[in-house]
Amino acid sequence: MSPRILIGSSYFRNKQGNDSEEFLRIWILNTLRVLHPSVKSVKIVCEAGTVFPAHLRSPLIEPIHLTGDLGHVSHLENGTKPYEFCGWTAGMIALAMLAYCDESDFVYKESDALAFGPWLETGYKDLGDGDIVFGHAQPVSPCMPSSQSIFIVRHRFIPTFVSKYLSYGGDAKVFGEHKFVQLEYEFGKERVKRLSFGVDRCRPIPYSDPVFYAQQLYPEEMAELRKRALI
């Protein structure tokens, strides 16, 4: 594994579902289970004036507060927001460059994704000698060619990743999942890898697998995780 890792994510409070303060608490505990000495910080971009709960701060958890809101990609598509890139992209890119400044690899773990088992170690095994590793295609709804709720970018590749990602076009024209695949086409599968675990937004969730992750969890799925003492 890398001698230094920065884990990045975001937080937008809408008082319900997987953006609630309670889910943030669960997400933090889930993330801190990694507790690998290589992880030097967990930086969370708080957009649109969202205030990070003071009782959830720690020396490892560092919120970055912003008052602006670039919006969701759907806002760019319907013209509600006049920007080329949405808040997810801009926050993710900013976090990647902070990792580069900090001489760290960049590990992104989306705010509504939970991971179980030695996912970080397994992610690095999947990465091997490559430059970036991300999730599998989603053959059923939402039918995307890749998953990006958890991915790892080596420090040496961060500037190339950022410049290429932005060069592939605005978010309303090219979705992020397609941009990751474009990296795979351009740099080849020796440098661009896929994770061996996780379902992301696909289902069913493999609760009994030694390593897995899932995004956009439903209340009944959260209940099952509690029943199995996973959260």
What tens digit of pLDDT does each residue of 89-120 get?
Answer: 999 999 999 999 999 999 999 999 999 999 99
> DSSP secondary structure string, 89-134?
HHHHHHHHHHHHHTT-EEEEE-TTEEEESSHHHHHHHHHTT-SEEE
Q: Work out the pLDDT band at 16, boundaries 50, 70, 90.
A: very low
Q: Work out the pLDDT band at 2, boundaries 50, 70, 90.
A: low
- Given a cut of 60, whether residue 49 has pLDDT beyond it is yes
Q: Work out the pLDDT band at 15, boundaries 50, 70, 90.
A: very low
Whether the CA torsion 146, 149, 150, 151 is positive or negative: it is: positive
Q: Rounded to two decimals, what is the model's pTM?
A: 0.95
Which CATH number is 193's domain given? 3.90.550.10
DSSP annotation of 139 = -
Asked whether 10 and 162 are in contact (CB, 8 A), the reply is no
Q: Which of 2-16, 42-56, 205-219 has the lowest mean pLDDT?
A: 2-16
Give the tokens for residue 14.
């809408």
Write down the residue that tokens 């560092």 correspond to: 62
Q: What is the pLDDT of residue 212?
A: 98
Number of domains within the chain: 1
Q: Work out the pLDDT band at 139, boundaries 50, 70, 90.
A: confident
Nearest to 29 by CA among 224, 209, 216, 231: 231
Strand order in the sheet with 61-65: 61-65, 39-46, 5-11, 105-109, 147-153, 132-135, 192-194
Beta bridge partners of residue 153, listed in sequence order: 106, 132
- Given a cut of 60, whether residue 17 has pLDDT beyond it is no
- Given a cut of 70, whether residue 47 has pLDDT beyond it is yes
**Residue 70: domain span:** 5-227
When pLDDT is averaged across residues 168-181 and rounded to a whole number, the result is 94
Alpha-helical regions (H) of 128-167: 158-167
Give the tokens for residue 61.
């958890």
